[in-house]
């Protein structure tokens, strides 16, 4: 059995915290550049060009892309043939967040209690999801999540009779109600099925799917394309000033569900769609 | 229209602005977001003096990242404004002339903007690095214990903002979307 020391997890998380807050993945930057070229509405084009400029400035490594450097969402896929030594995984991840946000001059945006609201001052704890998978490696996905967009996300337990139309209308309605608040152009993650909690988790995981990766199920690939078109037809535009570019990507994840249920979750991300992956 | 406006930020300088205009602001502005607004309004209720002069002030809804050595400020884009809606009318009625944030405001804020002939600007959300480059100086003036949420005085130069709510009741979020959709008919 392979052994892995938790210090490697700590180091990787710290590096990814800094990296994701300065550099976007190529699929995201490509989508923004494409829209900046193709956007027909002058005000919207101007905003998209300034977003491109922001990406260039942040890429120099001094100023983070956004001042909301996020709540650290960490997804761990742990191979069942790995033996992890050196302490608790949770502690190792939080140490990585503490180091990355401290040394990286990133904002500490976490309060220890949702109602009494005292800042933890080191951006911990991270929000960690664990999955046990086959193999002897550990895959870490680090996705700092800003709350301007998180606050605009919604979940609904629909009756099965709502069907495909009900689901699609709900997704579009959530984006319309969000309007200018989540810093459009947005990225939309949709979770359909499962349970209340599973739908929300799938919606967040859908935000991590590369824009250019097609859904393997043609039925949902078509639905993603249709939803993207409908959301962009809302005309909200970049920053809500009006225009053709309201969303950059829509991705759907699904799971089996109960005969009585049709849970639908919509998780919204801003154009600063940050995530990175490493395999240890 | 494009405007350049320098401090003092008296409301007469904002009267000709209309929703959709772009403005470059130069001068001192103050930062405050959720926790600072809550404290400011609580202080008013207690009859305590506020830590800065609200009259003719522009308040920027921002919680910047920590500044790296040699830099005046870290990344500094706007936060979502509706969370300040509960407090903004009180400050506008005290003479705050401008707010900078992003996103829709409630009716009470819209009414307070027209009543006081004030203005609500949007900065580009998610462009915190770009906005930071227009900040020349930053100092904490109150609530240091709030960290990123402390009240700071920022000296900005040609700070780019867009008029969302103007003193005549104009709203860019409604008008901009409508104009774009009508252009496609």
Residue-range domain boundaries for chain B: 2-183
**Structurally, how many domains does chain A consist of?**
2
pLDDT of residue B83: 96
Question: Same domain for A177 and A258?
Answer: yes
Residues 6+ apart with CB under 8 A from A146: A66, A68, A69, A70, A183, A269, A270, A272, B126
pLDDT exceeds 90 at position B185: no
> pLDDT tens digits, residue range A206-225?
999 999 999 999 999 999 99
> pLDDT tens digits, residue range A224-271?
999 999 999 999 999 999 999 999 999 999 999 999 999 999 999 999
How large a percentage of chain A has pLDDT more than 70? 100
pLDDT exceeds 90 at position A1: no
Is the residue at A86 inside a domain?
yes
Residues of A whose CB is below 8 A from B62? 67
> pLDDT tens digits, residue range B117-139?
999 999 999 999 999 999 999 99
Question: Same domain for A13 and A127?
Answer: yes
Question: Same domain for A129 and A255?
Answer: no
Min CA distance, A22 vs chain B (Å)? 10
Q: Is some CB atom of chain A closer than 8 A to the CB atom of B1?
A: no
Select from A111, A145, A179 the last residue of a domain: A145
> pLDDT tens digits, residue range A80-130?
999 999 999 999 999 999 999 999 999 999 999 999 999 999 999 999 999
SS3 state at A19: helix
Query: For residue B96, what pLDDT band results from cuts at 50, 70 and 90?
Result: very high
Residue-wise burial string across A61-97, b where 16 or more C-beta atoms lie within 10 A, e elsewhere: ebbbbbbbbbbbbbbbbbbeebebeeeebeebbbbbb
Run of H or E including A89: helix A89-103
Euclidean distance between CA atoms A274 and A90, whole angstroms: 21
Is the residue at A121 inside a domain?
yes
pLDDT exceeds 90 at position B34: yes
Question: Same domain for A180 and A74?
Answer: no
Domain interval for residue A135: 2-20+64-145
Is the residue at A83 inside a domain?
yes
Q: Bridge-partner residues for A72, per DSSP?
A: A144
Question: What CATH class has B2-183?
Answer: alpha beta
Q: Which candidate, B82, B88, B106, places its Cα nearest to that of B38?
A: B88
Q: Enter the pTM of the model.
A: 0.95
**Under an 8 A CB cutoff, do B173 and A180 touch?**
yes
> pLDDT tens digits, residue range B5-33?
999 999 999 999 999 999 999 999 999 99
**Under an 8 A CB cutoff, do A107 and B79 touch?**
no
> pLDDT tens digits, residue range A58-84?
999 999 999 999 999 999 999 999 999
**Under an 8 A CB cutoff, do A54 and B65 touch?**
no
Which entry of B37, B39, B102, B152 is annotated as an active-site residue? B37
Select from A81, A112, A145 the last residue of a domain: A145
Q: Is some CB atom of chain A closer than 8 A to the CB atom of B52?
A: no
Q: Bridge-partner residues for A139, per DSSP?
A: A77, A279
pLDDT of residue B22: 96
Residues of B whose CB is below 8 A from A182? 80
pLDDT of residue A42: 95
Euclidean distance between CA atoms B165 and B175, whole angstroms: 10
pLDDT of residue A7: 98
Is the residue at A41 inside a domain?
no
B137 assigned to active site: no
pLDDT exceeds 90 at position A158: yes
Of the candidates A105, A146, A235, the beta carbon closest to that of B180 is on A235
> Count of CB contacts below 8 A, A vs B?
158
> pLDDT tens digits, residue range A193-204?
999 999 999 999
Is the residue at A50 inside a domain?
no
Q: Which candidate, A191, A104, A121, A109, places its Cα nearest to that of A146?
A: A109
How large a percentage of chain B has pLDDT more than 70? 100
pLDDT of residue A6: 98
Q: Is some CB atom of chain B closer than 8 A to the CB atom of A145?
A: no
């Amino acid at each position: 059995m392979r052994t892995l020391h938790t210090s490697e997890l700590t180091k990787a998380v710290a590096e990814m915290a800094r990296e994701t807050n300065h550099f976007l993945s190529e699929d995201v930057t490509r989508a923004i550049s494409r829209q900046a070229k193709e956007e027909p509405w002058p005000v919207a084009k101007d905003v998209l060009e300034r977003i491109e400029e922001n990406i260039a400035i942040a890429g120099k490594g001094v100023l983070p892309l956004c001042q909301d450097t996020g709540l650290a969402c960490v997804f761990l896929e742990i191979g069942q043939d790995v033996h992890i030594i050196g302490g608790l995984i949770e502690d190792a991840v939080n140490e990585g967040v503490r180091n990355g946000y401290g040394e990286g001059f990133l904002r500490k945006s976490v309060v220890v209690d949702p109602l009494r609201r005292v800042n933890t001052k080191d951006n911990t704890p991270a929000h960690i999801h664990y999955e046990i998978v086959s193999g002897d490696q550990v895959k870490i996905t680090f996705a700092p999540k800003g709350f301007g967009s998180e606050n605009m996300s919604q979940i609904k337990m629909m009756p099965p009779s709502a069907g495909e139309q009900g689901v699609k209308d709900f997704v579009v309605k959530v984006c319309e109600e969000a309007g200018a608040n989540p810093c459009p152009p947005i990225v939309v993650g949709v979770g359909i099925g499962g349970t209340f909690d599973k739908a929300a988790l799938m919606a967040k995981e859908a935000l991590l799917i590369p824009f250019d990766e097609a859904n393997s199920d043609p039925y949902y690939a078509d639905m993603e394309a249709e939803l993207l078109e409908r959301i962009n037809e809302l005309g909200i535009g970049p920053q809500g000033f009006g225009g053709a570019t309201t969303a950059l990507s829509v991705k759907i994840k699904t799971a089996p569900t109960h005969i009585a249920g049709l849970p639908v979750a919509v998780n919204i991300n801003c154009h600063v769609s940050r995530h990175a992956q490493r395999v240890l | 229209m494009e405007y350049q406006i320098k401090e003092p930020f008296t409301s007469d300088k904002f009267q000709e602005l209309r929703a959709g205009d772009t403005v470059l602001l130069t001068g001192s502005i103050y930062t405050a977001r959720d926790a600072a607004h809550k404290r400011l309004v609580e202080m008013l209720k207690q009859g305590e003096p506020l830590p800065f002069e609200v009259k003719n002030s522009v308040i920027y809804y921002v919680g910047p990242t920590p500044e790296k050595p040699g830099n005046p400020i870290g990344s500094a884009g706007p936060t979502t404004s509706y969370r300040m809606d509960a407090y903004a009318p009180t400050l506008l009625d005290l003479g705050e002339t401008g707010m900078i944030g992003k996103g829709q405001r409630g009716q009470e804020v819209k009414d307070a903007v027209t009543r006081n002939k004030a203005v609500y600007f949007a900065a580009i959300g998610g462009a915190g690095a770009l906005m930071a480059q227009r900040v020349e100086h930053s100092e904490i003036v109150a609530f240091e214990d709030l960290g990123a949420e402390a009240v700071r005085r920022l000296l900005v130069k040609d700070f780019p903002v867009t008029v969302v709510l103007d003193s005549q009741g104009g709203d860019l979020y409604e008008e901009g979307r409508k104009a774009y959709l009508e252009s496609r008919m």
